[in-house]
Structure formats: C-alpha cells, structure tokens
A and B are shown apart, each in its own frame.
Chain A
C-alpha cells in the first residue's frame, strides 16, 4: 500500500492549478507520475470512491477529489453507504 502516494496525488491535484489542469487534460499522464500500486492506480482512475475510502484516503481529500470529477454529493455518500 502506498496511501502516502495516493494522498500526495490528490493533494497536488487539488492544491496546484497547473496540476489540476493536467489532471483534467490527461488523468493517466498525471497519475503515472506517482508510485501507486496497481489497485490504487485503478481506484484513482476509476474514481472508485468506496475503494479509496477503504484504503484510508482522508475524507477532506477524497470529497474534493470526487467534486473535481463532477460527482454529486448524493452519489459520493451513496458509494460509502454501510461503511464506518
């Protein structure tokens, strides 16, 4: 697990306008710069909210990241249903 790298990717994407633009242009290109495990890479690229939350991504990185990807609040929370 490289939660640190996943969260660093989210932090950079959300806090740096240049990297945010790059993410919007080509998620694969930006994600490729981080040392992610295959499952993490898949979860990030698919914006698999449930998997990312279960990996331990901080909620205040995860929700802004799902917002960045145009995911409505109700869908974000529906994906987390039943989790602690």
Chain B
C-alpha cells in the first residue's frame, strides 16, 4: 500500500497573512497543531503529495471553468498572493503520477480537465508552508471547483477520489494525500467572521468516521448556510474516497473570527503501518 499519509487542513490566508487577527492563545494552539501535523507528514517520508484544493480565481475564470482539473506540470509557481507572507517561488510537480491519476479518472468515467501550467494560490501554498517548507516533495494539485456555480456534486467529488484510489494505493511511490479548505466561511462579505460551528462539527464527525453515505448526501443547499467557502468540503469528501475505510482524529478545530474561517486540522489513522 502506497498511501502513507492523509489529512484535511484549513488554508485560510489569514493563518499566515494576518495571524495577529486571531487571539494569541488560539493562534498558538492552531499553529502548533499545524506544525505537528507537518512533522507527521514528513515522518511518513512521502515521495509525492496529492493535494485536493480549491483555487480562488488564480487560474480559471468563467470563460472556461472546469469542475475538476489535475495539474500535470513538473513545476509550479506560487503563491499568487502577495499578502500571505509566503515567499514566491517554485514547487516541483509529479507529472508522471498526475498522468496516471488522469488516466485512472478517464477509465472510471470521470473526465477532469488537465493543465500543464497552474499558479498555486493559498489553497495549496498555506498547507505546503507547514508540510514541506523546503518544497522538496513534488505535488499533484487536484483543483475542485468550489467557487463558480454550478459546482460538482459532493457525490461526484467522492467518485473523483474513488477513481484515483487504486492508483494511489498500489503505487510504488509513497504518497501523501491532503484535503485543503473549508470549513464554514464567507470571507469578503458583510457576514465575514460568522462561523457555523455546528455545521463544522457535524461535518468533521462524518469525515472522521468515514461516513461515505453522509458525505455524499451533502448538497449545495445543505452546505450554503455555512457560507460559500464551506463548499470546499468537497476536497475532504474526495480524500475520504481515496482512503476508503478509515478513522481520523481532529487535531485542532478553531473557529477563528479574525481569519473568517472555521479552521480544522484532521489526521487520518494509517492502519497496518501504511
């Protein structure tokens, strides 16, 4: 089995861009947990990272917005944003793994878009800052549209992850899989800072017990009361399908008003020393 690590993480730009907007105690708890999760990822010695992430108008506009896009470049640039306190630079991509994942999707009747040139924004770069600060593990970004409706149904996101599962689990490479995004948030709006803790905790409970039927039953309508940003739980749902049957633990959940986000860090237990 080549799946060596899996997790779900918040990527709010404020985590690094304006950390002082969170109370010191809350910020330190969250940053500390993120660093511990990063150390755990590095200890799993991954050869590649597959990261399911939203993008935020970094690459796609509504002249042509894909439901899913697999990055298959051998090098990416990022972050796009100048305001998130992450140095601009390059991140290597695993083009070979990306091609395998793309082929597997087509074989399973899902046809993602693909791109040999993506700019990485905070959705990928915030997690990588904590996980691979040396940027020494190549990535495969899998972009899931959580931004420009119509959005792919959560059950389709689950199917996307399921389509990739065999390639990841049987790969000779050691692969870490990351879900990036969520949970409840509505940044930039008059209601920014409102966080739906009940929604977040219910979702985390379903994710942590690998409750596929509950995860697939989410809809745009059932998610939207938690804010438009909560639609990013699709990335977590895809990762749930990649891993399959598992248990996971919440390392941190912080409703951070100053970052306008319900911020979660969840690590999947890897049974059998995977």
Q: Which residues of A contact B (CB under 8 A)?
A: 4, 7-8, 10-11, 14-15, 53, 58-64, 67, 73, 76-77, 80-84
Q: Which of B18, B80, B189 contacts A59 (CB 8 A)?
A: B189
B83 contacts A84, C-beta separation under 8 Å: no
B57 contacts A58, C-beta separation under 8 Å: yes
Q: Which residues from A are CB-within-8-Å of B186? A: 59
Some 16 contacts from A to B, beta carbons below 8 A apart, are A4-B62, A8-B63, A10-B57, A14-B57, A14-B80, A15-B58, A59-B187, A60-B56, A60-B187, A63-B187, A67-B83, A73-B18, A80-B189, A81-B190, A82-B190, A83-B190
Say if the beta carbon of B115 comes within 8 Å of chain A: no
Q: Which residues from A are CB-within-8-Å of B228? A: 59
B57 contacts A84, C-beta separation under 8 Å: no
Q: Which residues from B are CB-within-8-Å of A10? A: 57
Q: Which residues from B are CB-within-8-Å of A60? A: 56-57, 147, 187-188
Interface of A is mostly: helix
Query: Known contacts A15-B57, A15-B80; is A59 also within 8 Å of B188 by CB?
Result: yes
Q: Which residues from B are CB-within-8-Å of A7? A: 61-62
Q: Which residues from A are CB-within-8-Å of B187? A: 59-60, 63
Kindly state the separation between the CA atoms of A5 and B189 in the bound complex, as whole angstroms.
Answer: 21
Q: Which residues from B are CB-within-8-Å of A53? A: 189-190
Query: Known contacts A15-B119, A60-B147, A67-B83; is A80 also within 8 Å of B57 by CB?
Result: no
Contacts A14-B80, A53-B190, A61-B57 aside, 15 further interface pairs with beta carbons under 8 A come to A7-B62, A8-B61, A8-B63, A11-B57, A11-B61, A15-B59, A15-B80, A53-B189, A58-B147, A59-B228, A64-B57, A64-B81, A64-B83, A77-B192, A81-B190
Kindly state the separation between the CA atoms of A65 and B23 in the bound complex, as whole angstroms.
Answer: 26
Q: Which residues from A are CB-within-8-Å of B83? A: 64, 67
Residue of A nearest to B119 (CB): A15
Nearest chain A CB to B119's CB is how many angstroms away?
7
